[in-house]
Structure 1
Amino acid sequence: MKGVNGDKKAVKLAYDIFLSLRDTEPNNALIEAYYGSTLALLGRDASQPLEKADKAQEGLDALNQAISRDPKNKEIRMLRSNVCLRLPESFFQCSKTAVEDISFLLDRYQKNPSYLTNNQVNELIEDLRTAYKNMGKPDEASKVSQRFSKLTSKKKK
């Protein structure tokens, strides 16, 4: 979390740890996802535009690989949607992927209310609105609250 909050040293340390873990467990989808997330953070922190883009794309590729290995993993879906929402839509066009991941998570939650916490549900609904806005779909964004109002009111009871 220190890295997510801007600590560049923490990002580098996390990257080194996940790179090492990735070498020891090359088929572990969760390690691949965290590795991808750290690459995206390295891209965020890079000073050169080309390096920013390359690291972010490498991170997305690793996150996509992680999803292909374990498509039902909640933590991996959350990681990928968070990364996708924070990358510039005009360059990466991955808000659609964020919508896919968030929809997957909210669908699972509708089937099993213990799948997500109250905070996770509220954050995902807000993230879904943001993803639609990023895609240039303000009408879809405004429909999200109506579509999921039952989820948030049911969860508050």
Structure 2
Amino acid sequence: MILIARDKTKPLEKLRWSKAGLKLLDGAVSAAPQDGMIRILRGKAAYKLPEKHFHRAHTAIEDYTFLIEREMHKEGFLENEIYLQLVYELGEVYCRIGQNQSAAMCWKRLMNQTLDPDFLHLLKLKLKNLEGKPAVEHIPNTESITSILIRRTVTAAGNALQSWAEEQKK
């Protein structure tokens, strides 16, 4: 559903498909919280979605942290490239929400785990961008009041329609 949303051209359709896909992924994680594949799917989806509309950074952090810790305890669960990518993306998510110290920790960990000169250069740039910034900073919500009202209205209408459809099924 999230992949279908990606290809939709109308914003409300994108939102509807994305939210439906996220709801399924949340349900799958609730049903099987130790399943690494489900965590990868939900974490990647949460990572790719814009934070200002979906507020899923903490979902990505939860899933990526679970996967990284699992890899540290069960070596071989993830391919090395995927593991490195998850740690890098975890740093990106932390950076997006103003958790600069946590982002730096992720990227410093990677500097000790890779020999790729291009990747090392990227990590150095990322760390340099964090220099002088506080450990935690407030990232203002740049969403306009109109956008917030539209999002809340669409969510309320969507919930009402889902409730009505469920009642009709009964």
TM range (shorter): 0.5 to 0.7
Aligned counterpart for 1:59 among listed residues 21, 40, 55? 21
Distance 2:67 2:42 in 1: 12
Question: Could you tell me whether the CA contact under 8 Å between 1:96 and 1:135 is conserved in 2?
Answer: no
For 1:96, the equivalent position in structure 2 comes to 58
Aligned counterpart for 1:69 among listed residues 31, 45, 64? 31
CA RMSD of aligned residues (A): 1.5
Q: TM (normalized to structure 1)?
A: 0.67
For 2:120, the equivalent position in structure 1 comes to none
Q: Which piece of structure 1 moves more, 99-108 or 113-122?
A: 113-122
For the pair 1:86 / 2:14, whether they are aligned, the reply is no
Q: Which has the higher contact order (CA 8 A, sep 6+)?
A: 1
Equivalent pairs, count:
114
> Over alpha carbons, which structure has the higher Rg?
2
For 1:23, the equivalent position in structure 2 comes to none
For 1:141, the equivalent position in structure 2 comes to 103
Distance 1:47 1:149 in 2: 40
- 3-state SS of paired residue (1:114): coil
For the pair 1:122 / 2:84, whether they are aligned, the reply is yes
Deviation track 1:101-133 (CA, whole Å, cap 9, x = no partner) reads 010011111111111111111111111012112
Distance 1:90 1:120 in 2: 26
Distance 1:56 1:101 in 2: 18
**2:58 partner letter:** K
Question: Could you tell me whether the CA contact under 8 Å between 1:85 and 1:94 is conserved in 2?
Answer: yes
Distance 2:98 2:12 in 1: 26
Distance 2:93 2:48 in 1: 10
Question: Could you tell me whether the CA contact under 8 Å between 2:87 and 2:106 is conserved in 1?
Answer: yes
Structure 1: where are the runs of 5+ without partners?
1-38
Question: Could you tell me whether the CA contact under 8 Å between 2:88 and 2:110 is conserved in 1?
Answer: no
Q: TM (normalized to structure 2)?
A: 0.63
For 2:151, the equivalent position in structure 1 comes to none
